[in-house]
Amino acid sequence: MSTSLLNCLVTGASGFLGQSLVAALRQQGHRVRAFDLRPSPEPDSTAMVGDLRRAADVAAACQGIDTVFHTASYVGWLPADAATIHDVNVNGTANLIRACQAAGVRRLVYTGSIDAVFEGRPIRLGDETLPYARRPLNTYSRTKGVAEQAVLAANDPAGLQTCALRTAGIFGPGDRHRLPSVINLARQGQALRLGSGQARFNHVYVGNVVHAHVLAASALALRPAGAPPAGRAYFIVDDEPTNFYDFVGEFLQALGYAPPTRSLPYRPAYLLAALLEAAQRLGLKLPPTVQQFTRYTVAATCVEFSFSHARATQDFGYEPQTGRAEAVATTLAWLRAAGYGVDGNPAG
């Protein structure tokens, strides 16, 4: 399997998942080209700086490539960012599909999101029969669904074979956003619990996400054309969902912070978030921490939002390689080394 993927391209190679994927592919002996707005920090990869929104950049990146891992996306919640989010996530993905087809790329694995099916209503251990959200709670969620559908529609057993991996909340070494944002709120004394504490959410360790990407691409390469996972989407999660605040509370306590004790019920929180979003659409400038208080963040932590990876297990053998205890310990070690402990300062 070490040679089945041949020449690989990773978009978003300087991001959290992209860096981990590039490193893993290199370790497994694959030839890797890293593509992003800034050079990849991986010393053994061929770095190409470019922009998904520029078709010429994407076309050049796909030359001589056999397998593409499309991890790049623009993650943002602000109404002011809506046009950029669409341009990168939808138009950029369309550029990549066309470039893959023109260059004769054989495989495209798209990093999707559980957000593509979420409208704020409870989902309990959801599977791939769920429809795409008709009324997503933000532009990012909408664009992830639109881009995923374009990738799957491009699947061609006689040419480019595609699949999509819908990841849950990714955590692990190298995370500069998810857990650090919660830690920074705790440092500032602004941490707040939302909801009743009963809703469950999926997280997934970055190493397990990387493992799923390699498995899916290898299945596309080694199986008969058109066989699963070609043309399909899959949820990629760790085994057990937990309440969001229980999950992050374990990290806060281990790093020396008190978990949040103040709480706000779901419905008042959702109404407040809707009002704050409306204020931003009207041009009101809000503090950064308030900008992140959205209907999506409220709903995702207050209602059941969990999924099963059974179909990925069935179709290409995905099982989390790293268990929760090891994943938490490894992540904590990285957070401490990066200065996120109570006595540390985050490294640049």
Query: Which domains, ranges and CATH numbers included, belong to the chain?
Result: 7-175+202-239+308-322 (3.40.50.720)
What integer is the mean pLDDT of 19-25? 96
Residue 48 · residue 60 · CB < 8 Å: yes
**What pLDDT score does 2 carry?**
45
Selection from 329, 318, 155 nearest residue 225 by Cα: 155
The total number of residues written for the chain in this structure: 348
What integer is the mean pLDDT of 234-238? 98
DSSP string, 275-325: HHHHHHHTT----HHHHT--HHHHHHHHS-EEE--HHHHHHH----SS-HH
pLDDT digit string (tens) for 47-56? Answer: 999 999 999 9
Instruction: Tell me the catalytic residues.
Output: 140
pLDDT digit string (tens) for 262-284? Answer: 899 999 999 999 999 999 989 88
The continuous run of DSSP H or E covering 164 comes out as strand 161-167
Query: Does residue 33 have a pLDDT over 60?
Result: yes
**What pLDDT score does 1 carry?**
40
pLDDT digit string (tens) for 117-139? Answer: 999 999 999 999 999 999 999 99
The reported pTM is: 0.95
